[in-house]
Amino acid sequence: CPRARAGEGTGAHGEMEDSSKEALMEEAPPRYTESPRLPCIPHELKNLLLMVALVAVALVVVNVTFLLLGLHLSESHAETVLRMSIHGLDGEGTPQKLAMSQRERSGTFAVRDGLNGSAAVVYDYSKLLVGYRSWRHRACYITRVDRDNFPGLDAVTETFQRRQDEDVGDKAVPLADRSILGTTINILCSTVPVFWA
């Protein structure tokens, strides 16, 4: 009968299972330690922290935007003021080119001298001098200025051009000591004589 055979087999198998169970029971099961848990943060507190972080990021973005906008506006305002001072209030006039030197504390303007000529005007703020060099004539002209009253570019150009026209027949003595000149005017007038205007 198949049942008898199964019973016979199970008896032998049952003895084996009991012996292995006893062997397993003698050994202690391994102890597992629980991993440390993060403290439980309530859901409302998580939402509050998230909102605070988002508000902080939004404030930073708004501040940076306003700073960049202010920088752009001040830069464009300075450019407009400079353009107005070069072209005049109505925007008329000949365009001028300006080069600034922070280290030398000077500003150099390229201006017209007649119809087809050009000249350079240098404002030396450290030496309180204004220099003029026309590329059509072989001379430089300088003048002292008051610290609180720097003349405008048009007035300086007109004065120097008038002095230049007067010197055509004049035998003026050129400046002997060039050490009073700043670096920019010295370079501009390095190959020509310098006269007081």
Q: What pLDDT digit, counting tens, does each position of 10-43 carry?
A: 454 555 555 556 655 666 667 777 776 666 777 8
Comparison of pLDDT for 67 and 29, the residue scoring more = 67
Residue 86 has pLDDT above 60, yes or no: no
What average pLDDT does range 118-147 have in this prediction?
86
Q: What pTM was computed for the model?
A: 0.48
Comparison of pLDDT for 20 and 161, the residue scoring more = 161
CATH number of 81-196: 3.30.390.150
Question: Tell me, what DSSP letter sits at residue 165?
Answer: H
Residues 172-194: tens digit of each pLDDT: 677 778 888 888 888 888 888 88
Query: How many C-beta atoms surround the C-beta of residue 140 within 10 A?
Result: 27
Comparison of pLDDT for 145 and 104, the residue scoring more = 145
Q: What is the mean pLDDT of the chain?
A: 75
- pLDDT-derived band at 62, boundaries 50, 70, 90: very high
User: What percentage of the chain's residues is helix, strand, coil (to nearest 5)?
Assistant: 45, 20, 35
What lies within 8 Å, CB to CB, of 185 at 6+ separation is 106, 122, 124, 127, 129, 131, 140, 142, 194
Distance between CA atoms of residues 168 and 136, nearest Å = 13
Distance between CA atoms of residues 153 and 183, nearest Å = 20
